[in-house]
Amino acid sequence: MGRPQDISKCEIPISEDEILAAIRVMRFGEEPRCIYCGSDTVIKWGYIPHTNRQRYLCKKCGATFNDLTGTPLENSKISLRDWITIAYMFFRRGMKVSDIARVTNHSPRTVIRVINLVKENSLLQNLLRKLASEKVSGDRS
């Protein structure tokens, strides 16, 4: 079953690539740094299969990582857009969990888990603030 039609009124108009780019800039700035040793001798190292997300290799410690490594988004089965949409609906629009679950086609348990992870993670809070202020006109919060 597809998503209900009214989700477009609740979403931030943004693509997965734009979300990933915003995360990259927030975490690393202009150039990625190794999340394990802090080195700036990092090179691009292919893509993660099926997601088309950039991988990096640290030439100092040999670790590989991507833009989401070490975040709650790292191995999530929920799309980046759905993470942002759920958080936006709850924190910016004040919608109830049951309504968010119905509109996004996720279980209430999943919606609550996403909300709690956003509450606990400053990167996700800042990301939501940044994306909402850039992409949504007329939002008052």
Instruction: Supply the pLDDT for residue 132.
Output: 82
Instruction: Tell me the CA distances in angstroms from 92 to 31, 55, 85, 88, 120, one per residue in order.
Output: 31, 32, 10, 5, 17
> How is residue 38 annotated by DSSP?
-
Q: Give the model's confidence band at 5: pLDDT under 50 very low, under 70 low, under 90 confident, else very high.
A: very low
C-alpha angle 10-15-102 in degrees, rounded to nearest 5: 35
Query: From CA 31, how far away is CA 24, in angstroms rounded?
Result: 9
Entry pTM: 0.81
Domain ranges for the chain: 5-15+70-134
Beta bridge partners of 45: none
Q: Is residue 92 scored above 70 in pLDDT?
A: yes
Reported as a single tens digit per residue, the pLDDT across 8-60 is: 556 678 888 899 999 999 999 989 999 999 999 999 999 988 888 999 999 99
Instruction: Supply the pLDDT for residue 7.
Output: 54
